[in-house]
Structure formats: C-alpha cells, structure tokens
Amino acid sequence: MRLWVKQRYRCGICKKQIRRRDLFKDYINLDHIVAKSKGGTRDPENMSVTHQACNQAKADDCPCNWYGPEFCTTDIHGGDGDRRKRQSEELVNPAEEESLAIQEKANER
C-alpha cells in the first residue's frame, strides 16, 4: 500500500495508473525488483507494485531495463542501465522545450 503511494499510484513497470479499488485484485502483483533467485530481498526497496501481466513480461529480464541501473543484477550490463538513463533524460527535454516555447510566446505578447 505504501509502495503504491510511493509509486504515485502507478505500476512499477509500465507506469500506468493503478486504481485504489484494483490494488488488492489478483491481477495486481507485488514484484521483487531483483528476483529472489538472484538474491533479491523482501526489503521494501526491492518491492514494486505492478500489473501481473507486466510482471510476467519482465520475468527474467534484467531489472535494470525496468527500474534503472541501480537494480542491475549483472556486471556486463553497466551500459544497458546508462542507455536507459539517457532515454529518460531525453524524455524530460521535450517538456522543457515546450515550456520554453510557451515562455517565448508569452514574451511576444
């Protein structure tokens, strides 16, 4: 429950919203970010509220693909996490550009 709030009411994998009334349905799962088989713990830091389908899609993928490089379970993957990070930085930029454009328009008036 607290995890769900921490995740801003979103699935930890697809980031789509999870409604409160869906929270305890069986298609919502508590995911181990690092699988137990890979040494993951039940520590809240390693848990994530997800859709069951998303959880299954993630399955044996390295968690760094979904949760960021700090959750990488293998050494060979440093670059993978970096790529992911760059993508999320790129996602931020268009919004910034947009707000700049809005500012410019405001200045024109």
Footprint on this chain of Zn ion (rule: CB under 5 A): 11, 13-14, 51, 54, 62, 64, 72, 77, 80
Q: Which is nearer to Zn ion, 86 or 98 (CB)?
A: 86
Q: Quick one: which of 19, 18, 84 has its CA closest to 54?
A: 18
Q: Which is nearer to Zn ion, 47 or 72 (CB)?
A: 72
Q: Name the phi and psi angles at 34, rounded to 5.
A: -95, 120
CB of 59 to Zn ion, least distance (A): 13
Give yes or no for a contact between 58 and 66, defined as CB atoms under 8 angstroms apart. yes
CB of 71 to Zn ion, least distance (A): 8
Give yes or no for a contact between 68 and 82, defined as CB atoms under 8 angstroms apart. no
CB of 9 to Zn ion, least distance (A): 12
CB of 14 to Zn ion, least distance (A): 3
Alpha carbon of 42 to those of 17, 39, 48, 52, 105: distances in Å? Answer: 23, 10, 10, 18, 51
Q: Which is nearer to Zn ion, 35 or 80 (CB)?
A: 80
Q: Which is nearer to Zn ion, 14 or 35 (CB)?
A: 14
